[in-house]
Amino acid sequence: MIQQTLSWLIDYQTLLTWLGISSLLMFVLSLLLLPWFIKKIPADYFQRPPKANTLSDLLTPLNLMRNTLGGLVLIAGIAMLILPGQGLLTVFAGIAIMHFPGKYQLERWLISRNGILKAVNWLRRKTDTPELK
């Protein structure tokens, strides 16, 4: 059994090395960028009425760039659910960046999860930003 495990580790050494490097990179990036993303959310964001989204709004170049960046952050957050990093907060930040129908309801559901609002407001206090209401 030990011989098989060692053989598997040797066979997949390159893959495991790259997974380790990407995990470390995502962890460091989440520590650096997540507070910045969280700080950009207006304190009264969840008290505002949701904006209506139309298909033409979603296809503007700015929204395509926002959705691409948000999608990358979202994917990194999902990966951080099993890899080192701040997974749920990064998923929330990715969704907050994006622009799509139903986004407001999804954000409200996520922020109401146990500990998410507490963690977001803790980060906001650390950056001298008013807490989310």
Report yes or no on whether pTM surpasses 0.75: no
* pLDDT per position as a tens digit, 58-90: 778 888 898 898 898 888 888 888 877 677 778
* pLDDT per position as a tens digit, 18-42: 878 877 887 787 778 778 878 888 8
Q: Which two tokens stand for residue 36?
A: 């910045």
